[in-house]
Amino acid sequence: MSTAAPATTSAKVNLADYKDVWVFLQRKDGRLSNDSLELLAAGRKVADQVGQKLAGVLLGSNLRGLPEEALDYGADIVLAVDDPELRTYHTMRMIDTLESMILKRKPYAIIFLATEFGRELAARLAYRVNSGLATDNVDFEVQDYFNPKFNEMFPKTMTQVRPDFGSRVAKIWTPRHRPQVATLKPGSFTPLQRDPSRRSKGVIEKVQLPRPGKSYALTVKELVDLPKSNVDLEHASVVIGLGLGILRGADGSPRNPIEAYKLATELKELIERKWGLKTEIGASRGLVMANVRALEGIITRDHELGQTGTLISPDLYIALGVSGSAPHRAGIRAKKILAVNPDPGAPILLAATYAVVGDLYDFVPKLIDTLESLPDKS
């Protein structure tokens, strides 16, 4: 005979008991990460629509200044757990802490960033608190949701909008469970204006670490910061991205990718000289992972663009031979995109401001000539 599942799962959740929108904030270089500011903007939207408070959740060691920053950028409340045991990004430790906070305070929703760390926390936590999970959302909207299968109306439910199989989006609901757990794709929201006057109205609540000293079967032995990269993709005005497409011409014939790199360098130098715009060369994850012999030491992991690499927001992104998978596009929030790809169906062309269906080896020299021929900006 089959064993029965724990009773907790079949017990119906009283949806009205759950209040407030939580966002799980992460830090970078002693401040809230830029993604976290976007997350506060997303959370603000949901909280306003549902008519509840927005709480920033901060877990870590030595949180100095971060709770105040969260209030400035849109939080009404900050739940801060400041404890040396949280220093090492111990996933299980973090999940235990969040679980105990959720059981005690019953939030309406909790939203994480769709980063390596946010993803795993959200997934395991959602299961542990008997809820569902919608990942990589690009937008949220609070609506009354009617489900024809249950023939039931769920008032004020969070509609979660996420990309679905490449070039589509789908709406997702977690109608019957609370908290609604979601992750937000970085780059989907614009941070709110910093408003230090919010600080006096906000509440910073210090939360004790539950079960301090608990031991785990997994221990963090070492936490090493990777050296700062000498490629400053983050602050470049123009980024030229190279993808696996540089290995072949439009006719499929093999090309030496170093040629594409030289063209990109020439283009970079031209833009820097003529327009005075800081320009950097990056690469898709595909190209970085391919470990192409000819590009050894030239294209490294420091060049990686997209969700798993550096998130960029330049004025112009020039994509050469990049197909534009969803994780790649998620990391690019350029004002303008110029995409060159021989395949008219390449997703990057869909996202482009200027689309060029063709061979980058033909196009880039022509572009360089054209840009050279333009009158000097002065």
Partner 1 sequence: MLIIALVKGVPARTAKVVRVDNIVQRDAMEMVINPNDETAIQAADYLKRRVGGKIVTLSMGPDSRLKPVLAPLYGAEATGVDEEIILSDPKLAGSDTVATSYAVGHAVFKIYEKHVAPFDDLIELVSGNASIQQIEAKARELYDQNLLPNKVYNEEPGTRTSIIGHLVEGNLSREEAATRLRTERSNVTKFVIVAGIRTTDGETGSVGPQVAEVVSQKMGIELPHATYIEELDVDPDSLRIHAGRRIGRMIQRLEIEAPCLMTFAPEYVPKKIPFVDFNRVIENYYKGKLKEATKWTADILGADPARLGFGGSAVIVGPAILMGAPSGQKTLDKSLVFTKAADKMTVEGKEYGPFKPGDVADALPQATKDELLSKGSVVPFNMKMLGEALLA
- Chain residues 258-277 in contact with partner 1, contact rule CB under 8 A: 271, 275, 277
Answer yes or no whether residue 371 interacts with partner 1 by CB under 8 A.
yes
61 binds partner 1 (CB under 8 A): no
Stretch 199-238 residues interacting with partner 1 (CB under 8 A): 216-226, 238
Interacting residue with partner 1 among 36, 174, 188, 284 (CB under 8 A):
174
Instruction: Check binding of 338 to partner 1 (CB under 8 A).
Output: yes
Radius of gyration for the chain, computed over Cα atoms and rounded to the nearest angstrom: 24
Residue 39 lies near partner 1 (rule: CB under 8 A): no
Nearer to partner 1, 41 or 122 (CB): 122
Q: Residue 355, interface with partner 1 (CB under 8 A)?
A: yes
Which of 62, 167, 208, 256 is the binder for partner 1 (CB under 8 A)?
167
For residue 291, the minimal CB distance to partner 1 (Å) is 10
Residue length of the chain: 378
Least distance (Å) between residue 70 CB and partner 1 = 19
Cα 114 from Cα 136, distance rounded (Å): 6
- Strand 180-184 and strand 133-137: pairing? parallel
**Structure tokens given for 238:** 């123009």
**Which two structure tokens, joined as six digits, stand for 295?**
């590009």
> Considering only 3-11, 38-46, 192-200, 242-250, which stretch makes contact with partner 1 by CB under 8 A?
3-11
Q: Which of 164, 195, 266, 343 binds partner 1 (CB under 8 A)?
A: 164
The interface with partner 1 within residues 64-83 (CB under 8 A) comprises none
**Which of the residues 40 through 59 are near partner 1 (CB under 8 A)?**
none
Does 378 bind partner 1 (CB under 8 A)? Our answer is no
CB of 251 to partner 1, least distance (A): 18
3-state secondary structure 328-357: HHHCECCCEEEEEECCCCCHHHHHCCEEEE
Closer of 127 and 203 to partner 1 (Cβ): 127
Of the pair 242, 367, the CB lying nearest partner 1 is at: 367
- Told to check if 153 binds partner 1 by CB under 8 A, we report no
Nearer to partner 1, 77 or 188 (CB): 188
Q: C-alpha distances in angstroms, 255 versus 218, 250, 252, 276?
A: 47, 10, 9, 31
Residue 133, beta-bridge partner list:
181
Using the rule CB under 8 A, is 289 a contact of partner 1?
A: yes
CB 182 within 8 A of CB 136: no
Taking Cα atoms as reference points, which of 112, 142, 157, 83 lies closest to residue 22?
112
Q: Choose, by CB under 8 A, the member of 19, 49, 132, 192 that binds partner 1.
A: 132
Residue 353 CB partners (closer than 8 Å, separation 6+): 336, 337, 338
Name the residue among 292, 289, 270 with its Cα closest to residue 281: 270
174, burial (CB in 10 Å: exposed 0-12, middle 13-18, buried 19+): buried
Spatial distance between the Cα atoms of 121 and 133, rounded to a whole number of angstroms? 11
Contact with partner 1 (CB under 8 A) among 36, 135, 323, 341: 135
Closest CA to 342 of 317, 363, 318: 363
**Least Å distance between CB 224 and partner 1?**
5
Judged by CB under 8 A, the chain residues 78 through 117 that form the site for partner 1 are 88-89, 91-92, 115-117
Distance CA 21, CA 44 (A): 8
Is residue 284 a contact point for partner 1 (CB under 8 A)?
no
